[in-house]
């Protein structure tokens, strides 16, 4: 198939992840909180920055919201090694397609590419060594709309009409998102960029409150979640100083 980078890699002997062995399944490691929701100008995607191994905090500066190309973002929950590898394959696949076919891969094509990678990864996911449950969000140029999709570890793809969450802290904030969107002062989709960012910071702080594997804001170390905004202009990362000012004026006040 022309323009298929993953196929090209496979022809050269590449294998994604570690092949799993049946019957050695373990509890899935999805220690993290990632979220995405639609706001007035597009989609906001955010994630905490903690990486854990069992009870141990491995790293507090992980970037789980990865820019795959100028129009799309993949937020990762699950085994980081597999998730980063998938992001790397996707990034190269989209670039390769654009450069060989002289046109952007369609948004549906991008969704399908991630789905295929997850399906290939099923043995490792079931063995507990490579489960990934990502959120993929991007700007669909044909439909002129920013969209959110989330996946299970087997590669099934679901559209998050208003929002999507994943990771160990997600049960906490899923309920809050539903409440906010249904009975809050205003629906998420009408919020301004600033309002949406404040909500994202509050949601991740709530997740960190109840989930030890989710890192909240560490003001002393100047560590804030990663927040990316997807609009018709592409992907933009919210700068830390801006997050800090929004956190101090709208989040920490109530704590």
Sites of contact with another protein (CB under 8 A): 5, 8-9, 12, 67, 70, 88-89, 92, 95-96, 98-100, 102
Q: Toward another protein, which CB reaches closer, 89 or 196?
A: 89
Interstrand relation of 42-47 and 51-53 (parallel, antiparallel or unpaired)? unpaired
CB of 90 to another protein, least distance (A): 11
Q: Which is nearer to another protein, 99 or 119 (CB)?
A: 99
Task: Tell me if residue 32 is catalytic.
Answer: yes
> Residue 167 class from Cβ within 10 Å (0-12 exposed, 13-18 middle, 19+ buried)?
buried
From 30, 32, 197, 214, the catalytic residue: 32
Whose tokens are 């022309």? That residue is 2
* Separation of alpha carbons 20 and 130, rounded Å: 9
Closest to another protein by CB, 69 or 211: 69
**Closest distance of CB 156 from another protein, Å:** 26
Smallest distance, Å, CB 72 to another protein? Answer: 12
- Give the closest residue to 156 by CA, choosing from 192, 223, 111: 111
CB of 142 to another protein, least distance (A): 20
DSSP state letters, 237-251: EPPHHHHHHHHHHHT
Q: Which is nearer to another protein, 4 or 162 (CB)?
A: 4
Tell me the two tokens of residue 208. Answer: 């960190």
Hey, which residues are catalytic here? 32
């Amino acid at each position: 198939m022309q323009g298929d980078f993953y196929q090209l890699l496979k022809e050269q002997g590449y294998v994604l992840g570690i092949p799993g062995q049946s019957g050695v399944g373990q509890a899935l490691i999805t220690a993290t909180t990632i979220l995405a929701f639609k706001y007035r100008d597009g989609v906001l995607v955010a994630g905490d920055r903690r990486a854990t191994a069992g009870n141990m905090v491995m790293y507090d500066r992980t970037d789980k919201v990865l820019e795959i190309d100028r129009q799309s973002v993949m937020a990762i929950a699950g085994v980081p090694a597999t998730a980063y590898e998938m992001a790397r394959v996707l990034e190269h696949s989209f670039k390769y397609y654009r450069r060989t076919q002289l046109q952007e891969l369609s948004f549906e094509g991008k969704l399908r590419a991630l789905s295929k990678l997850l399906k290939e990864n099923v043995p490792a996911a079931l063995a507990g060594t490579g489960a990934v449950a990502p959120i993929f969000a991007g700007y669909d140029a044909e439909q002129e709309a920013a969209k959110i999709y989330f996946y299970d570890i087997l590669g099934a793809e679901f559209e998050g009409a208003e929002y999507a969450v994943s990771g160990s802290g997600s049960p906490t904030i899923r309920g809050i998102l539903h409440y906010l969107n249904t009975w809050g002062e205003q629906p998420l989709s009408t919020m301004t960029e600033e309002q949406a960012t404040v909500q994202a910071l509050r949601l991740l702080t709530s997740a960190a409150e109840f989930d030890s594997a989710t890192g909240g804001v560490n003001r002393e170390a100047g560590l804030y979640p990663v927040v990316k905004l997807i609009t018709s202009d592409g992907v933009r990362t919210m700068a830390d100083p801006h997050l800090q000012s929004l956190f101090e004026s709208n989040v920490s006040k109530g704590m």
